[in-house]
Amino acid sequence: MGYPHPSHPRETVLVSRYFGDAAARPYDGWVKRGGYQALEHSLGIGREKVIEEVKLSGVRGRGGAGFPAGVKWDFMPRERTRPHYLVCNADEGEPGTFKDREILRWTPHAVIEGCAIAAYAVQAEHIYIYIRGEFTEPLRVMRQAVDEAYAKGVLGDNAMGRGIRIDVTIHRGAGSYICGEETALMNSIEGKRGNPRIRPPFPAAAGLWGCPTTINNVETMAAVPHIILKGGAWYKGLALSSPKSTGTKLFSVCGNIARPGNYEVTMGFPLHDLLFDLAGGMPPGRRLKAVQPGGCSVPFITAEEAAETLLDYEGCLAKGTQLGSGGMIVYDDSADIVHQVMRLARFYAHESCAQCTQCREGTAWTTKILQRILHGEGRMEDLDLLVDLGDQMTGTTICVLSDSCAVAVGSAIAKFRPDFEAYVRSGRAVAAV
Amino acid sequence: MSDLVKLTIEGREVEAPRGTTILEAAKLAGVLIPHYCYHPSLRIAGVCRMCLVEIEGWPKLAASCATTVVPGQVVHVSSKQAKAARQGVLEFLLINHPLDCPICDQAGECELQDYVFQEGRSGTRYGAYAKRFNPVEDFGPDVLYVPNRCILCTRCVRFMDHVAEESVLNVSDRGDRAHIGIDAGRTLDHAWSGNVVDLCPVGSLISKDFLHKARVWDLDRTASVCSGCTQGCNVVLETRDNAVLRVRPRPNAEVNRHFICDYGRFNYDWLNRADRIEAPLVRENGRVVPVDWDRAIERTVDVLRSAKAPWVGLVSPGASCEALEAAAKLLALGGGAGAFRVAEGEEAPLPGVPDLALRKERAPNVHGAVAAGFSRDWDRAVADARDAGLVFVLGEDLAGTQALPPGVPLIYVGTVLPESARDAAVVLPCANMAEEEGSFVNLRGLRQAYCQAKTPPGMARPAGWVLEEVLAALGAEAGVAA
Amino acid sequence: MSQAGTGTHAPGDAPALPKVFEGAGRRELDAILKQYPTKQAALLPALWMVQEKHGWASPAGMAEVAEVLGLTVAYVKGVVTFYTMYHQHPVGKNFVQVCTTSPCSVCGAEGVVDAFLKATGCKRMGETSPDGLWTIVEAECLGACGFATPVLINDDFIESVTAGSVPALVARYR
């Protein structure tokens, strides 16, 4: 549903079905709505079959990386010589994205169920759900749901009465965007600074405390029960365009838009329809100027490009952007693109963990250049310098935070160069909107 | 399947054991890949991004310090892409750097200077933006931290965390606000903390002891062995104008890896003492008279010939193997033997390196002395000296021991003249360990040579040479004293 | 940025802060420790407990955490300074975080910040108000972009705040 708005008939409501339904939150309400049947079924068909179904479904990581979840689970060792861990990434921090918060606070048991199925599949007995520190309501709701699940025997030493152990710990973050990166998240759980790790090793080989670990996004986990109950083939069939992008996706539409909210549509849905049909289009008197369809770390696209974009991984790539997290930031013609790009650079500079030279210094320098441009002290060479710095910051670091900064800045300059040139040429500050 | 991997680095074929990183394999091929955060004695961090290399067929540049070799890999270190990446890192490192080389101790041995000269861009694009500024911090007792020069390589933090195993340093804050921090109530007083100054590739962690003392290009460097304890850490003595100005570790995988303790590092003033005996001295008509070596050796032989047995030796465990072996031979001629005593202090291990510690016994050649036949029973030897026919002292000031009986002739070989040797029949001035070649045996029985770093004052000569001359003179005539 | 609270706290004359990990606090910590294979992993949860009890990541609190988890104070501090939600100074009774990242920025978030500053008497962001009741800071994306502008007041997550709705909100919290 376009929560907080009523569902639109063109949505494919799956994961978001119970958004806004307070009765779905508690265990009993969830069970009434079919909850925990998928977990029961999974324990019956066995772990290999579960992994098979998830692989068949083609579901790809919904946090932004888009890696096939089933393949990820398949990486886990079959012979368990050390503890295995399952981690749920609820550190939603990509600007523009606000879907996981809804899943957590409306359907906490869906998350627990998805995680439990995943844990069973990869032979993990302990699940860590990492919720960002600012999500005080999801933290409260999830803690309560976990308590309920223990009380009802879903979790614990004898999960679902099947003699296996499934434990859940809610781990609260403390303010760091980069902790949404899976290896930084693991370091954060371990009680360290949230620095991303060099890879290899990958989490399935050595993750939490050096043990095999699987990490998935909240939305991915929430999709798992549906895949198990209705089958991977069914999920795979939900694809409007590319066969490599299957199932449904929550798009968090925000910014300059009439009906901001989360819209769940089948992969391959036209971006234009999402904005103008489902989300109500532009505010009165405004024209669409730019979109970042997958969070602020994906390239800007123009209104013209947006009109031709299909919302799946391949469709976005074809238009020179990315599906990313599905956090769709909409900019109308009242938005000051230059100011927003500066604000994004400032965001990256604030969030850089400080390990890599290019990111640590480059994000800050980029911000300074943009601030000068905004203050009317920019030069034309600054635009080429920004692109050049962006090149230095791309493909050279441990994680892709600096690449993301380069992408946001570089694509804005590429697509909206006249906006930047206007600031430089006018030689005076233009008041921020 | 072979354990060796064949690959090509910079056009050179190299074979490296499986599991070797490209950076280390490159060393085998004689190629130095520029880097900062990597250090062979520290855990891999991969954060400076300076060591990025191009690997054919790989979509992105790879950090060579953190990438293991794969058979058939073709690695380029000086390709256009790799060089551009390094130039990028250098540019980023310099934007907030104060460029205060004229007042920075690291100048001349600074890896930032080195790589910028080698391949950085000339000029900066940073323009008129303000540089980040933070005041100098005293991490104490010896270490100063200059945040403005810090490149956040984290070698210091990793050393304290994993090698010294005392996490007293941290990285504080995030992004370009990040800096090295120290626990508010603490100082960097760990027994091995001086190593962070060596590890720092730039002039960010500097030593108060060396602050503004000398320009490194004025220093001569000599391979030596630390004389502080029985560990036998390999060091470099750095001298200028015939004085030792700094002691730094010399890598030795078996003994001390890349480190020395603070005791050894700062205990070098005694090598520069000015109050030295500069000429051989003999007693003539009740007066002490300086003479040349020929006369001195002659007189020594006379004294020895007329001395009754037994002869007792009181030696220093800081003397070289060569001197101690000769001394033992000499004492044997007199039907005697000798002993030594050694000062002791607290043992201070470096936990992250096996079998490395500042040892309790604070002398470099205890085991050389033992091997040469000297006993640890000092008190017994001092007592024996009362009834000896001759007392031979090598490098010992005899402080705290009973005065030697006036009737017993004393031959003294040493660097300075202690009160106890004022009545010696012969005083033979010798070089200290920085002024001679020689060897020490460490606590594991390893005999290690050290080289001459400066010239001895006046007519002082290596003790080993002195004693060999005496032995030769004694043996040159028939009827050696018994 | 954790630039909160440059207030009037003078370490010398403040009353001693209560111990965090004694009695019920110790039991809470023990329960947390059971959930991780290492003591170090309890660091973030333990720091939350300190902030809950002391209002900020006090030096005394950090020292207690270090001791009880077998870590050095330097290590704990390195972690505290990484995460923006741990206050490194005391803050006002109401700690307000206003999201100003781009999706909220294009919806007038800066105006919400200004409204808060005006309504609370705070001269600028990060400074506690003279009456000690308010500290306003801007936050990076709070994950509620469709409900621009979201605001956290202590642990209360408030959606859809506008410059116009700020005065009433401030009045509720006074």
Query: pLDDT by residue (tens digit) across B416-437?
Result: 999 989 889 999 999 999 999 9
Closest residue to B92, CB basis, from A198, A355, A362: A362
CB contact under 8 A, C142 and A167: no
- A 6-35 residues with CB below 8 A of C? none
Angle at B235 between CA B233 and CA B239, to 5 degrees: 150
Bond into B141 cis (ω within 30): yes
Query: Which 3 state secondary structure label does DSSP give B8?
Result: strand
Chosen domain end from B73, B89, B105? B89
In angstroms, the CA A225 to CA A41 distance is 9
Q: Judge if B49 and B179 occupy the same domain.
A: no
Q: Judge if B66 and B137 occupy the same domain.
A: no
Q: How many helices (H) and strands (E) in chain C?
A: 7, 4
Please indicate whether the domains covering C1-9+16-91 and C94-173 agree at the CATH topology level: no
The mean predicted confidence, pLDDT, of chain B is 95
pLDDT score at A214: 98
**How is residue B32 annotated by DSSP?**
P
Interface test with A, best of B22, B36, B49 (most A CBs within 10 A): B49
Confidence category of residue B307, pLDDT binned at 50, 70, 90: very high
In angstroms, the CA B283 to CA A23 distance is 110
Cβ(B437)–Cβ(B452) below 8 Å: yes
Cβ(A91)–Cβ(A104) below 8 Å: no
Among C1, C174, C155, C10, which residue's Cα sits nearest to residue C87?
Answer: C1
Closest residue to A190, CB basis, from C41, C45, C107: C41
Answer with the residue of higher pLDDT: A2 or B382: B382
Cβ(A265)–Cβ(A11) below 8 Å: yes
Q: How far is A261 from chain B (nearest CA, A)?
A: 32
Q: Judge if B333 and B205 occupy the same domain.
A: no
The mean predicted confidence, pLDDT, of chain A is 96
Neighbours of C154 (CB within 10 A): 14
Radius of gyration of chain C (CA): 18
A395-411 mean pLDDT: 98
Inter-CA distances, B370 with A359, B316, B323, B374, Å: 58, 11, 13, 5
Does the pLDDT at position C5 exceed 50? no
pLDDT score at B480: 46
Among C65, C83, C66, which residue's Cα sits nearest to residue C2?
Answer: C83
pLDDT score at C7: 45
**How is residue B318 annotated by DSSP?**
T
Q: Judge if B296 and B442 occupy the same domain.
A: yes
Cβ(B153)–Cβ(A342) below 8 Å: no
Classify domain C1-9+16-91 at the CATH superfamily level: NADH-quinone oxidoreductase subunit E (1.10.10.1590)
Say if B429 falls within a structural domain.
yes
At B195, which CATH number? 3.30.70.20
Neighbours of B3 (CB within 10 A): 8
Cβ(A359)–Cβ(A178) below 8 Å: no
Does the pLDDT at position A431 exceed 50? no
Say if B425 falls within a structural domain.
yes
In angstroms, the CA C152 to CA C138 distance is 10
Inter-CA distances, B25 with B46, B68, B69, B73, B114, Å: 16, 9, 8, 12, 22
Contacts of C48 in chain A (CB under 8 A): 133, 172, 174
**A202 in contact with chain B, both atoms CB, cutoff 8 A:** no
Does the pLDDT at position A393 exceed 50? yes
Does the pLDDT at position B98 exceed 70? yes
Instruction: Give the helix/strand (H/E) hosting B439.
Output: strand B438-441
At B11, which CATH number? 3.10.20.740
pLDDT score at C3: 41
Confidence category of residue B481, pLDDT binned at 50, 70, 90: very low
CB contact under 8 A, B91 and A392: yes
Q: Tell me which residue has tokens 């606090």.
A: C25
In angstroms, the CA A159 to CA B408 distance is 92
Instruction: Give the helix/strand (H/E) hosting A391.
Output: helix A380-392
CB contact under 8 A, C148 and A194: no
In angstroms, the CA A411 to CA A319 distance is 12
Does the pLDDT at position A296 exceed 80? yes
Q: Chain B residue closest to A362 (CA)?
A: B92
Chosen domain end from B167, B197, B218? B218
Chosen domain end from B65, B89, B113? B89
pLDDT score at A427: 67
Confidence category of residue B123, pLDDT binned at 50, 70, 90: confident
Instruction: Give the helix/strand (H/E) hosting A386.
Output: helix A380-392
Confidence category of residue A4, pLDDT binned at 50, 70, 90: confident
Question: What is the residue type of B455?
Answer: T
Q: Judge if B147 and B69 occupy the same domain.
A: no
pLDDT in tens, C71-86: 999 999 999 999 999 9
pLDDT score at C11: 54
pLDDT in tens, B443-474: 999 999 999 999 999 999 999 999 999 999 99
At B345, which CATH number? 3.40.50.740
Q: Judge if B17 and B69 occupy the same domain.
A: yes
Helix, strand, coil shares of chain C, percent, nearest 5, are: 45, 10, 45
**In chain B, what is the straight-line distance between the N-terminal and C-terminal CA atoms, in Å?**
69
**A167 in contact with chain C, both atoms CB, cutoff 8 A:** yes
CB contact under 8 A, C85 and A177: no
A39-50 mean pLDDT: 97
Inter-CA distances, B84 with A34, A369, A396, B49, B91, Å: 58, 21, 11, 12, 10
Q: Judge if B169 and B300 occupy the same domain.
A: no
pLDDT in tens, B345-366: 999 999 999 999 999 999 999 9
Q: Where are the domains of chain C?
A: 1-9+16-91, 94-173
Say if B300 falls within a structural domain.
yes
Contacts of C75 in chain B (CB under 8 A): 167, 170
Cβ(B30)–Cβ(B78) below 8 Å: no
Q: Judge if B166 and B298 occupy the same domain.
A: no
Contacts of B65 (CB under 8 A, 6+ apart): B21, B22, B23, B33, B35, B37, B38, B44, B46, B51
- Print burial letters for B289-299: b (CB count within 10 Å at least 16), e (below 16): ebbebeebbeb
- pTM (two decimals): 0.95
pLDDT score at A432: 42
Does the pLDDT at position B177 exceed 80? yes
Confidence category of residue C1, pLDDT binned at 50, 70, 90: very low
The CATH class given to the C94-173 domain equals alpha beta
Answer with the residue of higher pLDDT: B347 or B477: B347
Q: Tell me which residue has tokens 């408030």.
A: C158
Number of structural domains chain B divides into? 3
Does the pLDDT at position C152 exceed 70? yes
Helix, strand, coil shares of chain A, percent, nearest 5, are: 45, 15, 40
B387-391 mean pLDDT: 95
Confidence category of residue C12, pLDDT binned at 50, 70, 90: low
**How is residue C150 annotated by DSSP?**
P
In angstroms, the CA A222 to CA A262 distance is 15
**C75 in contact with chain B, both atoms CB, cutoff 8 A:** yes
pLDDT score at A428: 60
Subunits with 3+ Cβ pairs within 8 Å of C are A, B
Interface test with C, best of B154, B183, B188 (most C CBs within 10 A): B183
Q: Judge if B296 and B437 occupy the same domain.
A: yes
Subunits with 3+ Cβ pairs within 8 Å of B are A, C
Query: Which 3 state secondary structure label does DSSP give A131?
Result: strand
Strands (E), A269-321: 269-270, 288-292, 301-302, 310-311
Question: What is the residue type of B66?
Answer: A
Among B263, B420, B421, B243, which residue's Cα sits nearest to residue B343?
Answer: B263
Confidence category of residue C16, pLDDT binned at 50, 70, 90: confident
Query: Which 3 state secondary structure label does DSSP give B51?
Result: coil
Does the pLDDT at position A2 exceed 80? no
Confidence category of residue B478, pLDDT binned at 50, 70, 90: very low
Say if B100 falls within a structural domain.
no
Say if B352 falls within a structural domain.
yes
pLDDT score at A1: 57
Q: Judge if B65 and B141 occupy the same domain.
A: no
**In order of start, what are the domains of chain A with their CATH numbers?**
34-237 (3.40.50.11540), 248-332 (3.10.20.600), 337-426 (1.20.1440.230)
Domain that holds residue B213: 129-218
Q: How far is A172 from chain C (nearest CA, A)?
A: 7
Does the pLDDT at position A430 exceed 60? no
Say if B317 falls within a structural domain.
yes
CB contact under 8 A, C72 and B184: no
Does the pLDDT at position C138 exceed 50? yes
Bond into C37 cis (ω within 30): no
Q: How far is C78 from chain B (nearest CA, A)?
A: 5
Say if B119 falls within a structural domain.
no
**A157 in contact with chain C, both atoms CB, cutoff 8 A:** no
C118-129 mean pLDDT: 95
Inter-CA distances, A311 with A322, A374, A407, B153, B350, Å: 9, 33, 19, 42, 58
Does the pLDDT at position B212 exceed 80? yes
Contacts of A175 in chain C (CB under 8 A): 2, 83-86
Q: Judge if B359 and B470 occupy the same domain.
A: yes
pLDDT score at C10: 52
Does the pLDDT at position B39 exceed 70? yes
A410-414 mean pLDDT: 98
Confidence category of residue C6, pLDDT binned at 50, 70, 90: very low
Q: If DSSP states are collapsed to H, E and C, what string results for B371-394?
A: HCCCECCHHHHHHHHCCCCEEEEE
B378-396 mean pLDDT: 95
Cβ(B414)–Cβ(B353) below 8 Å: no
CB contact under 8 A, A350 and B151: no
